[in-house]
């Protein structure tokens, strides 16, 4: 591949080509895609949690991982799904029978002050 072909290919993929005296530099500006693999520290940052919690999720099978030990990675989309699955949804109204009984007492005016 010639220099000009390389630069044309780089431009066709959205690369920024910088010209400096004596050389051309192709810089790829790539968007972050869902299937990109990220290291565990970055996955923890995406999930706003610690690396230990991410490792625990991998051990328990909640999160799929690739590689071993220091090179372990996870898919960005898997991290997003894992975070969504961990979301705590609010409970509407009382769910405990004792709480409901107490609220009825308060509504009738028999609650203690």
Helix (H) or strand (E) holding 40: helix 40-47
pLDDT for 18: 62
What pLDDT, on the 0 to 100 scale, is given for residue 63? 95
Side-chain-side CA neighbours of 14 within 13 Å: the count stands at: 3
Return the bridge partners of 23, or none: 20
| 53 and 45 Cβ atoms separated by less than 8 Å | no
Question: What's the pLDDT at 43?
Answer: 93
User: Looking at the DSSP assignment, which residues form a beta bridge with residue 19?
Assistant: 24
Give the single-character DSSP code of 14: T
Q: What is the pLDDT of residue 68?
A: 85
pTM here?
0.54
Domain map (residue ranges) of the chain = 1-30, 37-85
Question: What pLDDT sits at residue 30?
Answer: 55
Weakly modelled stretches of the chain, pLDDT under 50: none
């Amino acid at each position: 591949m010639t220099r000009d072909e390389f630069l044309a290919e780089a431009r066709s993929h959205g690369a920024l080509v910088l010209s400096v005296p004596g050389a051309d530099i192709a810089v790829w500006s790539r968007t972050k895609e869902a299937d990109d693999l990220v290291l565990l520290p970055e996955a923890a940052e995406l999930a706003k949690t610690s690396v230990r919690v991410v490792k625990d999720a991998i051990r328990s099978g909640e999160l799929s991982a690739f590689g071993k030990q220091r090179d372990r990675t996870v898919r960005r989309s898997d991290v997003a799904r894992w975070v969504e699955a961990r979301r705590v949804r609010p409970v509407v109204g009382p769910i405990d029978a004792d709480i409901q009984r107490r609220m009825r007492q308060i509504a009738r005016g028999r609650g203690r002050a």
